[in-house]
Chains A and B, each alone.
Chain A
Amino acid sequence: MRPDELAAQVRERLPETVVARGEVTSVVDRQDLLAVLEELRDDPEIAFDLLSSVTATDWPRRSPRFWVSYELYSVEHHHRLRLKVGVGDQDPSVPSVTALYPTADWHEREVYDFYGIGFDGHPDLRRILLPEDWEGHPLRKTEELGGVDTRYRGAFVPPIDRRT
């Protein structure tokens, strides 16, 4: 289906649907997430059976702060949809979709590792890319880039994010 057709179909369930740059993006509440995903997967005309990616973005000056986005793809119809769930700072957790899409396992672990967003119902939520005993969630905008000062021609040059 073309993006506008898909958007028309999806808008019935998800009123906040936008078409931009050839992509369809919908916003969904976290309590409706699993139900919506199951409907979208089982509807034969939409048939989103491949979850490409689960990721998150940190917008510290917006509310809610974290936006978890799911990239869905249909192998049969070759169309895509992006679902976004907004999660606040106080209780950053989202239901896990591993029951519907087993591939979400490692993606959600990575989001937890980088942002500290919990996934309820995930079989094994622990850090994946950073060492097990790492403290902090580095991809949050409030965390520093890290790295050491570089000594260059007698001066110490700090890492990029601390340079003025």
Chain B
Amino acid sequence: MGRDLDALDLDATGEPRQETMVINMGPQHPSTHGVLRLLLELDGETVVSCRPIIGYLHTGIEKNCEYRTWQQGVTFVTRADYLSPFHNELAYCLAVERLMGIEAPPRAQVLRVLFSEMNRIASHLVWLATSGMELGAVSIMLFGFRERELLLDVFEMATGLRMNHAYIRIGGVVMDLPPGATEGIASFLEVMPGRIREYESLLSTNPIWVERNAGVGVLTAEDAIALGVTGPALRAAGVAKDVRKDEPYSGYETYTFEVATGDAADCYARFEIRLEEMRQSLGIIEQCLERLREPGPVMVEDPKVRWPAQLEVGPDGIGNAPAYVKHIMEDSMEALIHHFKMVTEGVKVPDGEVYQPVESPRGELGMYVVSDGEHRPYRVRIRDPSFVNLQAVPRMVEGGLVADAIAVIASLDPVMGGADR
């Protein structure tokens, strides 16, 4: 203590000794987008090496699915990537439907697309809100969540829950849209384009935002594909990979929309791509609303597959329709037995394996489902985009400044629930 400043630590050759500092960032940290831990080795402010450590939210979803019925698997899988629950459910249900060789009715497919796109916008709004807040633009946090509330109102009206809905089920969706939902969506469609313009006017040419994002976290297309990165991070490098266009599912080939790509492969390009994706999703939602004018069934007819109950919005929320309850309790013993069997034992899925990819807001979300012919899944593996995209963090962060690490992680938009499952 109290050494002369000139008497520095010198090593054997007389040079000032360089030491790197190892800093632990997280898992409890306001800016790491959830419980992500980064082990950073710093030389001053420059990151020499970065090791992401995950697993702080490991929930054992995959093992738990093996002990529940196929239909209960939806409720487990929906909580993996909790910011895009509809995409998890959709991938799982599509995989199971492929194993069973059935297809959901057209109106159910339109509803699936509708809710997936609304979920995409909701997820991008959370990304915008949290990224903005982490980089200092605190007002964006409030704006993002304000718009998200409009979407969550529609979700609550249609599914009963604001998050983790269990709405998309094997064979279709569980309930048709209640009255008032289409009006809610239409009013959202009127309001949202103006709001996106608001975000752009606040951020896109803001010198601080550009300074913090442009040229930061560059990930070339080659590196991205080698590291398995998909989603906006890959599209920012110029590769137009979008599962909705390349391997369409649930009728996506019949909708008109564009895939947003960028050139610069940096955080700013990813920001612009996500704003553009929100706009494209608004277009798809409009097309969905057009197609929803014709009524139709929302669940397959086959009684061995369909969820037996008819749900209805009652005075205390969504529940079994009173007419249906009367039917099974008073009119028909067979219906009661059938309802009981379907709810407790569930469907039986022929054996085989299937990998179903879906375009979630973060990238390619894949569900690898293996069945051995029983009424329980044998193996459910969630190929989550956050899990894979986080492997690219060292590549993008090393050599840059510490503060850029936050911008990089924010631009990748990882959700730790999906990464850890």
A interface residue numbers (CB < 8 A to B): 20-23, 25, 49-53, 55, 57-58, 69, 71, 75, 78, 80, 82, 101-103, 105-107, 110, 114, 127-131, 138-139, 145-146, 160-161
Q: Given A57, A69, A80, A101, which contacts B226 in the complex, CB threshold below 8 Å?
A: A101
Contacts of A57 in B (CB 8 A): 353, 370, 378-379
- The answer for the CA separation of A109 and B221 in the assembled complex, in Å, is 24
Contacts of A71 in B (CB 8 A): 355, 366, 368, 383
Please provide the 7 A-B residue pairs with the shortest distance between their CB atoms, ordered closest to farther. Answer: A103-B228, A53-B383, A129-B55, A129-B58, A78-B246, A55-B381, A160-B67
Contacts A101-B226, A145-B63 given: A52-B357 contact, CB under 8 Å? yes
Contacts of A53 in B (CB 8 A): 355, 366, 368, 381, 383
Q: Does B343 contact A (CB under 8 A)?
A: no
Q: Given B55, B239, B352, B364, which contacts A52 in the complex, CB threshold below 8 Å?
A: B364
Q: Does B280 contact A (CB under 8 A)?
A: no
> Is B247 a contact partner of A78 (Cβ separation < 8 A)?
yes
Dominant SS among interface residues on chain B: mixed
B interface residue numbers (CB < 8 A to A): 54-55, 58, 60, 62-64, 67-68, 98-99, 101, 225-230, 239, 241, 246-247, 352-355, 357, 364, 366, 368, 370, 378-379, 381, 383, 387-388, 390-391, 420-421
> Is A75 a contact partner of B225 (Cβ separation < 8 A)?
yes
> Is B383 a contact partner of A50 (Cβ separation < 8 A)?
no
> Is A23 a contact partner of B226 (Cβ separation < 8 A)?
no
> Is B54 a contact partner of A21 (Cβ separation < 8 A)?
no
Contacts A53-B383, A57-B379 given: A23-B355 contact, CB under 8 Å? yes
> Is B388 a contact partner of A103 (Cβ separation < 8 A)?
yes
Contacts of A103 in B (CB 8 A): 226-229, 388, 391
26 A-B pairs, CB-CB below 8 angstroms?
A23-B355, A50-B225, A50-B230, A52-B357, A52-B383, A53-B366, A55-B379, A57-B370, A58-B379, A69-B353, A71-B355, A71-B368, A102-B227, A102-B391, A103-B226, A103-B388, A106-B390, A129-B54, A129-B55, A129-B420, A130-B58, A131-B55, A138-B60, A138-B63, A145-B64, A160-B67
> Is B366 a contact partner of A52 (Cβ separation < 8 A)?
yes
> Is B227 a contact partner of A80 (Cβ separation < 8 A)?
no
* Interchain nearest-CB distance for A64 vs B (Å): 16
Q: Given B63, B99, B229, B390, which contacts A21 in the complex, CB threshold below 8 Å?
A: B99
Q: Which of A106, A139, A146 has the most CB of B within 10 A?
A: A106
Residue ID in chain B nearest A77 by CB atoms: B246
* Interchain nearest-CB distance for B392 vs A (Å): 9
Contacts A49-B225, A106-B391 given: A80-B355 contact, CB under 8 Å? yes
- The answer for the CA separation of A131 and B60 in the assembled complex, in Å, is 13
- The answer for the CA separation of A78 and B241 in the assembled complex, in Å, is 9
Contacts of B229 in A (CB 8 A): 103
Q: Given A101, A129, A131, A139, which contacts B228 in the complex, CB threshold below 8 Å?
A: A101
* Interchain nearest-CB distance for A136 vs B (Å): 12
- The answer for the CA separation of A106 and B392 in the assembled complex, in Å, is 11
- The answer for the CA separation of A81 and B54 in the assembled complex, in Å, is 29
Given contacts A20-B352, A22-B98, A71-B355, could you give 12 more A-B pairs where the C-beta distance is less than 8 Å?
A: A21-B98, A50-B230, A53-B368, A55-B381, A78-B246, A103-B226, A106-B387, A106-B391, A107-B388, A127-B55, A128-B55, A145-B60
Contacts of B378 in A (CB 8 A): 57
